[in-house]
Copies of this chain bind each other. A is one copy, B any other.
Amino acid sequence: MQVVIHISLKDGVLDPEGRAIGHSLASLGFDDANSVRVGKNITLDIDTDDASRAHQRAARMCEVLLANTVIEDYEIEVIEES
């Protein structure tokens, strides 16, 4: 089952990469772009047909390795095969 994990910095945590992108956009003439924030998404397959188990495994992976839960939030999206 395919799972997409979206990892983003918590509100209030400084995002230097986002700020740098914002500056670059402005200097290229995109001065209508504001509040740029950068996050990560991790796509993976988990060997199970049970969506709730896939969700639970992905959450465990985030807690243990993928996200730094002090400064990052994560969101898990399980892609149901149709």
Partner of A30 from the list B6, B36, B42, B61 (CB cut-off 8 Å) is: B61
Range for the number of chain A residues in contact with chain B: 20 to 34
Residues on B with C-beta less than 8 A from A28 are 64-65
Min CB–CB distance A41 → chain B (angstroms): 5
Identical chains bound together, number: 2
Contacts known (A30-B61, A57-B30, A65-B25); A41 close to B38, Cβ less than 8 A: yes
Partner of A35 from the list B36, B44, B57, B60 (CB cut-off 8 Å) is: B44
Min CB–CB distance A18 → chain B (angstroms): 8
Interface residues in chain A, defined as those with a beta carbon under 8 Å from any beta carbon in chain B = 6, 8, 18, 21-22, 24-25, 28, 30, 32-48, 57, 60-61, 64-66
